[in-house]
Amino acid sequence: RKEVEQDPGPFNVPEGATVAFNCTYSNSASQSFFWYRQDCRKEPKLLMSVYSSGNEDGRFTAQLNRASQYISLLIRDSKLSDSATYLCVVIPASGGSYIPTFGRGTSLIVHP
Amino acid sequence: NAGVMQNPRHLVRRRGQEARLRCSPMKGHSHVYWYRQLPEEGLKFMVYLQKENIIDESGMPKERFSAEFPKEGPSILRIQQVVRGDSAAYFCASSTQGAGTDTQYFGPGTRLTVL
């Protein structure tokens, strides 16, 4: 099993739709979780951290399920500008150097 | 406050040449990470450095690749005797502390093409 797995998609949705992505991780000792967004041929940019209690930032909601070892990202009222690849990032609790592991990303295409 | 800077943005090398990629972290950041991204692939960690120290190089190929982060100046990722398989986007990220909850800020990347 890969350390961090994401459905590559693409998810094709119309403007205004609600879409959700999941990301599973294999290391139960993982301590920190993030969602990044990467546009085509650009660098990844932090979208939001994922807290144990779940967190919301405008149209975006992130959830963590430690028991089932997955995190999720929900996007409401999708905009054309949301089209991008969404990367899940997991950081282990042990090992000393806190090296992040990135998923391969989920591609989202929002169409008119 | 300038973000993470990388140069060159594009680099073309012939097989057997050397490639030098530079990364200047954000002001106030002393932790630098290098990642490689192959087409249609995720980011793969290569090396983590602090000033004058390599902290973790577990993702770096044992041969031909080296990295440094000197006391003065940018971090350098060096690839000797490049091969076609080295063609990729190389991203650098920096953070303030290197702790597990610390946000990493990425540079625009260097796209290396090996002919």
* Whole-number pLDDT of residue A1: 62
The average pLDDT across B56-76 equals 94
Number of residues assigned to chain B:
115
Strand residues in A1-112 grouped as ranges (E): 4-6, 11-14, 19-25, 30-38, 44-50, 55-57, 60-65, 70-75, 84-92, 101-102, 106-111
Distance CA B89, CA B110 (A): 6
pLDDT tens digits, one per residue of A7-42? 999 999 999 999 999 999 998 887 889 999 999 989
Find the CB nearest B103 among A31, A46, A98. A46
* Whole-number pLDDT of residue A43: 95
Residue B1 has pLDDT above 60, yes or no: no
Residue A96 has pLDDT above 70, yes or no: no
* Whole-number pLDDT of residue B99: 61
The average pLDDT across A66-79 equals 95
> Which residue in chain B is spatially nearest to A4 when comparing CA positions?
B42
Q: Does B2 touch chain A (CB under 8 A)?
A: no
Q: Which residues of A touch B108 (CB under 8 A)?
A: 42-43
Closest CA to A6 of A95, A108, A83: A108
Strand partners, A92: A30
Residue B40 has pLDDT above 80, yes or no: no
Percent of chain B with pLDDT over 70: 96
Least confident of A11-25, A92-106, B21-35, B42-56: A92-106
Q: Do B99 and A92 touch (CB under 8 A)?
A: no
User: Burial code of A62-88, b = ≥16 C-beta within 10 A, e = fewer?
Assistant: bbbeeeeebbbbebeebeeebbbbbbb
Higher pLDDT, A100 or B91: B91
Two tokens at B19?
Answer: 């490639």
* Whole-number pLDDT of residue B101: 65
Distance CA B34, CA B45 (A): 6
Confidence grade of residue A2 (pLDDT, cut at 50, 70, 90): confident
* Whole-number pLDDT of residue A64: 94
| Shortest Cα distance, chain B CAs vs residue A78, angstroms | 24
Query: Which alpha helices (H) appear in B2-115, and where do they start and end?
Result: none
Two tokens at B74?
Answer: 């940018």
